[in-house]
Amino acid sequence: MSESLAILLPERTLTLAGKEVVVHEYTLAEQLKYRAPLKAISDGFKALMLNSSEAEVSLDALYDLMGQLANEVIQAVAVSCGESVEWVSALTGEDSDALLMVWWGVNAAFFTRSAVREKMIEMAKAQQARLIGQASSPVLSPTDTTTVHSPITQPDN
């Protein structure tokens, strides 16, 4: 994979249960097709970010969220690694830990963008409103300079 494509679509390869597995970031088609489980995870992650200092989420809190949304996470992981839900569910020990960590590492940016999207839109709208307010400038001169109020001097002939 070219370096520029790797930036756009990060992926990691690992061996799990004797099988080589490639974990990739969600494509647009996958984001749309699996919107419900991905949104549930994003919403949960957003809540964690809002309830923590400086939007930092501990690994323990992240695992708690994954446990609460186990079905959604297993489905999301299966999509990301191209394996069945059954295969992902059957992983144990180091393999399951490795898959979860790699999956999160590859897809964390997706979930973070989803979690902060509303706040970014709100900030952009506020900035736009400030810029619009600055664009209308006050009158530069309070003095009336129209000729209605000033006498007209006739030229000398």
Q: Is the confidence at residue 103, as pLDDT, over 80? A: yes
Q: What is the structure's pLDDT at 23?
A: 98
Q: Is the confidence at residue 133, as pLDDT, over 90? A: no
Q: What is the structure's pLDDT at 65?
A: 96
pLDDT (mean) for 25-42: 96
Task: Please answer whether residues 22 and 11 qualify as being in contact, where contact means their C-beta atoms are separated by less than 8 angstroms.
Answer: yes
What's the mean per-residue pLDDT of the chain? 84
Q: What is the structure's pLDDT at 122?
A: 75
Q: What is the structure's pLDDT at 114?
A: 79
Q: What is the structure's pLDDT at 121?
A: 75
Q: Which residues contact 40 (CB under 8 A, 6 or more apart)?
A: 69, 72
The tens digit of pLDDT for each residue in 10-19 reads 899 999 999 9
The tens digit of pLDDT for each residue in 67-101 reads 999 999 999 999 999 999 999 999 999 999 999 99
Tokens of 40: 């549930």
Q: Is the confidence at residue 109, as pLDDT, over 70? A: yes
> Cβ–Cβ contacts within 10 Å for residue 77, how many?
24
- State which H helix or E strand residue 94 sits in: helix 93-135
The tens digit of pLDDT for each residue in 138-150 reads 555 555 555 555 5
